Amino acid sequence: MKSLRHGMLLLGLLPMVAFAAGDGATLQSANIDVGNTASLQRGARLFHNYCLGCHSVEYMRYSRVAEDLGLPPELAQESLIFTDAKLGDRIEIAMPPEASADWFGKAPPDLTLTARQRGVDWVYTYLNSFYLDESSTTGVNNVVFPDVAMPHVLWPLQGWQAARFAPGEHGADHGAFEGFELVEAGQLTPGEYDDAIRDITAYMSYLAEPMQTQRQRLGLWVLAFIAVLGVLAYLLKQEYWKDVH
């Protein structure tokens, strides 16, 4: 009964989530696999390289990430830490928040819980939705986060894309979003870029809920346990009924 009520509540929230995408843009499915450690490791490397200059993940420590992702200490130090932080430290931002608020007009928020607050599909689509816009101070805009203050930091990988919109009506700048066009290629092909941001999204999902990887592993053990128990119960039944038949 209780779960039914929760289900109804979730259904009630759906239209709001769809609306939150803004500008009529539909969210793309992130299609992540948080149980895939290699994907999390690639995501961590990209995230620590491209995002920690501005964003903190202050509810997480480097050491916990290293342990969960199966990275030995030296490798973790090398591939996750680009400041003078120690392995036991919280993942803090390299730049003081006041300075970055001055530069961007908005302080970059802590990203520990973002994948849960916004949802993984939103994060994935956001990282795929920066487009060139001369009227913006950063030179880019974002379809799911209009007038965002964040520059397109992954441009060396993706390149630059332009957005097509339907003509604006009633004095609006533009109408509904229609699609992107890659105007300058980056280091990655579009398919490789999708994989890269999928890995980043998976890592952010892990950060928001580190227990989920362990829960998946635990789930497998529980299933294995039930299977073994089932076999034993069956054998036991055979044993009991042997003399009856």
Residue 239 three-state SS: helix
> Which residue lies nearer to ligand HEC by CB, 55 or 198?
55
Enumerate residues 167-226 that contact ligand HEC by CB under 6 A.
200
Neighbours of 74 (CB within 10 A): 10
Stretch that binds ligand HEC, among 10-18, 24-32, 48-56, 129-137 (CB under 6 A): 48-56
Neighbouring residues of 184: CB distance < 8 A, sequence distance ≥ 6:
159, 160
Tell me: does residue 57 bind ligand HEC (CB under 6 A): no
Q: Over 142-198, what HEC string results?
A: ECCCCCCCCCCCCHHHHEEEEEEEEECCCCCCEEEEEEEEEEEECCCCHHHHHHHHH
> Which residue lies nearer to ligand HEC by CB, 51 or 66?
51
Enumerate residues 116-145 that contact ligand HEC by CB under 6 A.
118, 123, 126
Q: Which of 42, 55, 152, 198 binds ligand HEC (CB under 6 A)?
A: 55
How distant, in Å, are the alpha carbons of 44, 57, 88, 155, 200 from that of 62? 11, 10, 6, 26, 16
CB of 37 to ligand HEC, least distance (A): 20
> Which residue lies nearer to ligand HEC by CB, 117 or 216?
117
Q: Which of 23, 59, 104, 165 binds ligand HEC (CB under 6 A)?
A: 104
DSSP-assigned letter for residue 2:
H
Say how far residue 61 (Cα) sits from the centre of its chain. Answer: 18
Decide if 181 contacts 131 (C-beta within 8 A): no
Tell me: does residue 159 bind ligand HEC (CB under 6 A): no
CB of 5 to ligand HEC, least distance (A): 28
Residue 150 three-state SS: coil
CB of 131 to ligand HEC, least distance (A): 15
Task: Give contact residues for ligand HEC (rule: CB under 6 A).
Answer: 50-51, 53-55, 104, 106, 108-109, 111, 114, 118, 123, 126, 148-151, 153-154, 200
